[in-house]
């Protein structure tokens, strides 16, 4: 196959972030092409030592004393580090505690409690399943009504889409910053302002943006936000989500899972729930201290280069993928289901073809690992710290080869 656009070797040689690949386990192993760092980031190399050190020193020697020496404070301490590195948020508004799903539940319930005279929740049908399911569950439980947005599938939720459904009874708008399928970047500042003008609050799901695009939660006026740490933040399978509540809301916030780890004095063992004054009130039970260890390593890596440099590489990777798509996949009938304008495109793209459902198995077999999104999408996630331009090229060429083989088989 001849490809005329620039070879990946030159792009990798000129890439200031290229040396970061060696900081991840096996990223330099040319056997695997990994384009699913937006579902599960690679482990940083230093994680193994840091975990071993935690077991032998912190857990092993400090034992129960560890809770006084830092573990109890860890949901807030690690939250502040995420806030500083990638959220554009001042300290004291972010914790790390539960999954994104549970965090969404807490935040949406808190938003409804903050608007007791309103009962409508806005969400879009292209949102990630768990966001929709949580909203449906809350509606069934509280009697709230849902206003569904049907966004353009090739892009995502626009400011106009939100305007069209906002009303005097809207309590909260629940949206994803970056659409998990198309990669479209929603306009957080303008949508948040529109919701506020209607008297509503916003909950933003940042799973596909945190660690890939710069965020300014404080400056954008965001009320509540949450997101995964196992995607572009490389926290490892099941690493806990972060949860952000704007400072002005915290003192009066009511969250639905009242637990002993979120009260004014946990070790008083008092008779009644008395929420902590600060963001700690959003913690429910014992925080997943062990599961935060890898995250501290990857936050150090991100801190070394900064989120702006990460975004620049991310744009370069998706631009390169689209240039390759145009040259070798579009002629085979593959369509691009992501925005062409990098200003509204996150760190992944999705391409569609009716033959793709059968293509994932042979691709994975040859060590090319994107993921599949129904009905016919292959999603190419390019994690800026650990993905090379050569990987992107090999993936697109492999998809073209497998597609050509599949179509010639079905022609026979």
Contacts to ligand PLP from residues 159-178, by CB under 6 A:
176
Yes or no: say if 353 and 403 are a contact pair by the CB < 8 Å rule. Answer: yes
Binding of ligand PLP at residue 101 (CB under 6 A)?
Answer: yes
Of residues 177 and 246, the one with the C-beta less far from ligand PLP: 177
CA–CA–CA angle 40, 42, 44 (5° rounding): 135
Overall size of the chain counted in residues: 412
The whole-angstrom separation of Cα 57 and Cα 289 is 14
- Helices 293-305 & 74-82 angle (0-180, nearest 10): 20
Determine which one of 36, 98, 124, 205 is catalytic. Answer: 205
Judged on CB neighbours under 10 Å (0-12, 13-18, 19+), 382 is: buried
Q: Is 230 a catalytic residue?
A: yes
Of residues 208 and 393, the one with the C-beta less far from ligand PLP: 208
Binding of ligand PLP at residue 337 (CB under 6 A)?
Answer: no
The whole-angstrom separation of Cα 292 and Cα 320 is 34
Whole-number Cα distances in Å, 269 to 170, 254, 263: 38, 20, 10
Binding of ligand PLP at residue 338 (CB under 6 A)?
Answer: no
Instruction: Work out which of 207, 217, 329, 369 binds ligand PLP, going by CB under 6 A.
Output: 207
Q: Hunting for tokens 């593959």 — which residue is that?
A: 334
Binding of ligand PLP at residue 229 (CB under 6 A)?
Answer: no
Determine which one of 230, 242, 282, 356 is catalytic. Answer: 230
Q: Is 106 a catalytic residue?
A: no
Binding-site size for ligand PLP (CB under 6 A) equals 13
Binding of ligand PLP at residue 209 (CB under 6 A)?
Answer: no
Q: Is 230 annotated as a binding residue?
A: yes
* Residue 243, beta-bridge partner list: 95, 226
CA–CA–CA angle 131, 219, 100 (5° rounding): 20
Binding of ligand PLP at residue 286 (CB under 6 A)?
Answer: no
Instruction: Work out which of 180, 204, 320, 356 binds ligand PLP, going by CB under 6 A.
Output: 180
Binding of ligand PLP at residue 389 (CB under 6 A)?
Answer: no
Tell me the closest approach of the beta carbon of residue 410 to ligand PLP, in angstroms. Answer: 33
Tell me the closest approach of the beta carbon of residue 137 to ligand PLP, in angstroms. Answer: 13
The whole-angstrom separation of Cα 8 and Cα 394 is 9
Instruction: Work out which of 205, 352, 371, 391 binds ligand PLP, going by CB under 6 A.
Output: 205
Instruction: Work out which of 128, 220, 282, 325 binds ligand PLP, going by CB under 6 A.
Output: 128
Q: Is 62 a catalytic residue?
A: no
Of residues 128 and 325, the one with the C-beta less far from ligand PLP: 128
The whole-angstrom separation of Cα 200 and Cα 122 is 10
Q: Is the preceding peptide bond at 195 cis, omega within 30 degrees of 0?
A: no
Of residues 237 and 354, the one with the C-beta less far from ligand PLP: 237
Q: Hunting for tokens 């008083």 — which residue is that?
A: 268
Q: Is 379 a catalytic residue?
A: yes
Of residues 158 and 176, the one with the C-beta less far from ligand PLP: 176
Yes or no: say if 384 and 210 are a contact pair by the CB < 8 Å rule. Answer: no
Tell me the closest approach of the beta carbon of residue 135 to ligand PLP, in angstroms. Answer: 12
Tell me the closest approach of the beta carbon of residue 128 to ligand PLP, in angstroms. Answer: 3
The whole-angstrom separation of Cα 398 and Cα 412 is 21
CA–CA–CA angle 362, 366, 367 (5° rounding): 115
Tell me the closest approach of the beta carbon of residue 258 to ligand PLP, in angstroms. Answer: 20
* β-strands 224-227, 201-205 pairing: parallel
The whole-angstrom separation of Cα 244 and Cα 378 is 31
Instruction: Work out which of 58, 124, 131, 391 binds ligand PLP, going by CB under 6 A.
Output: 131
List interacting residues with ligand PLP (CB under 6 A): 99-101, 128, 130-131, 176, 180, 205, 207-208, 228, 241
Residues that constitute the known binding site: 100-101, 128-131, 205, 208, 230, 260, 286
Positions marked active-site = 128, 205, 230-231, 379
């Amino acid at each position: 196959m001849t490809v005329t656009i620039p070879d990946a070797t030159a792009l990798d040689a000129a890439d200031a972030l290229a040396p970061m690949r060696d900081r991840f386990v096996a990223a330099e192993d040319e056997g695997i092409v990994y384009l699913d760092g937006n579902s599960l980031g690679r482990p940083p190399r230093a994680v193994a030592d840091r975990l071993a050190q935690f077991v032998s020193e912190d857990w092993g020697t400090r034992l129960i004393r560890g809770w006084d020496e830092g573990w109890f404070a860890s949901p807030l301490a690690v939250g502040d580090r995420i806030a500083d590195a990638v959220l554009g948020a001042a300290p004291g508004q972010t914790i790390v505690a539960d999954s994104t799903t549970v965090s969404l539940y807490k935040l949406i319930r808190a938003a409804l409690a903050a608007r007791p005279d309103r009962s409508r929740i806005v969400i879009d049908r292209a949102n990630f399943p768990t966001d929709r399911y949580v909203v449906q569950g809350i509606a069934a439980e509280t009697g709230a009504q849902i206003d569904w947005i049907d966004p353009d599938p090739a892009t995502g939720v626009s400011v106009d889409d939100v305007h069209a459904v906002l009303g005097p009874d809207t309590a909260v708008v629940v949206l994803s910053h970056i659409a998990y399928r198309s990669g479209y970047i929603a306009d957080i500042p303008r949508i948040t302002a529109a919701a506020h003008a209607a008297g509503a609050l916003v909950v933003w799901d940042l799973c596909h943006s945190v660690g890939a695009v710069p965020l300014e939660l404080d400056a954008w006026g965001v009320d509540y936000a949450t997101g995964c740490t196992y995607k572009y933040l490389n926290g490892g399978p099941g690493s806990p989500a972060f949860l952000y509540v704007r400072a002005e809301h915290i003192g009066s916030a009511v969250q639905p899972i009242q637990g002993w780890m979120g009260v004014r004095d946990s070790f008083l063992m008092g008779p009644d729930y008395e929420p902590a004054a600060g963001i700690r009130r959003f913690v429910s039970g014992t925080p997943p201290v062990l599961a935060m260890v890898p995250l501290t390593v990857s936050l150090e890596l991100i801190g070394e280069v900064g989120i702006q440099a990460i975004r620049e590489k991310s744009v370069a990777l998706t631009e390169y993928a689209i240039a390759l798509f145009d040259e070798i996949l579009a002629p085979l009938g593959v369509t691009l289901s992501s925005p062409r304008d990098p200003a509204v495109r996150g760190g992944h793209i999705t391409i569609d073809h009716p033959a793709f459902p059968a293509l994932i198995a042979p691709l994975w077999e040859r060590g090319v690992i994107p993921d599949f999104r129904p009905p016919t999408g292959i999603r190419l996630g390019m994690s800026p710290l650990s993905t090379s331009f050569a990987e992107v090229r090999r993936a697109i060429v492999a998809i073209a080869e497998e597609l050509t083989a599949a179509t010639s088989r079905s022609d026979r």
